Amino acid sequence: MNRFLPIALAVFAALPLCAQAQTASNCPTLPANSGLTWDVLDGPGFLFCKALRQDGSEAFAVTLSRTSPFKPSRSNREEEGRIDGQPIYWYASEIAGRDNEVARETLVDVEGGNVAHVSLRAGDRARADEAMQQVQSLTFRDARLSSN
């Protein structure tokens, strides 16, 4: 057996982790002591950053792109907020078959002409409020699309 094979396998196995860690640095900065981590999908023309709680459940998601398919409707405005210094509105959205869940979306302009579409869903109002507070503590200074 080639004596370099174990080293090559270790390096090869670490490549996806390095790519994900590098991409996660393109996501917005999570609030300190939130216990959240990013799960990242870096695609052509978009970066999808899913904030995961320590138990593995999703707190919220952020999609960075040039444009967003989400088009806010004034009639769906619910709460006012502020993200990274920008005033925003949270818009109610629906999840088919999940009438009891609280679902919210908003848009944030990001440096470089990009937009961040933020979405969250929660089983109850308290969990939704917690996620909105966490989102409102995000900073987008280093958030950017990769060259994919």
Q: What is the 3-state secondary structure (H, E, C) of the chain?
A: CCCCHHHHHHHHHHHHHHHHHHHHCCCCECCCCCCCEEEEEEECCEEEEEEECCCCCEEEEEEEECCCCCCCCHHHEEEEEEECCEEEEEEECCCCCCCCCEEEEEEEEECCCEEEEEEEEECCHHHHHHHHHHHCCCECCCCCCCCC
Residue 140 lies in a domain: no
In a domain, 100, yes or no: yes
Domains held by the chain: number: 1
Instruction: For residue 145, tell me if it sits in a domain.
Output: no
Judge whether 119 lies within some domain: yes
pLDDT for the residue 31: 87
Give the pLDDT confidence of 67-92 residue by residue, as tens digits. 999 999 999 999 999 999 999 999 99
Asked whether residue 81 is assigned to any structural domain, the reply reads yes
146 found inside a domain: no
Q: Any idea what the Cα angle at residue 131 is, between residues 18 and 108, rounded to 5°?
A: 75
Q: Which domain holds residue 21?
A: 5-135
Average pLDDT over the chain reads 81
pLDDT digits (tens, 9 = 90+) for 114-131: 999 999 999 999 999 999
CA distance 133 to 136: 5
Q: Is 142 among the domain residues?
A: no
Residue 33 in any domain: the answer is yes
- pLDDT tier, 147 (very low <50, low <70, confident <90, very high otherwise): low
Q: Is 91 exposed, middle or buried (0-12, 13-18, 19+ CB in 10 A)?
A: buried
Of residues 143 and 27, the one with the higher pLDDT is 27
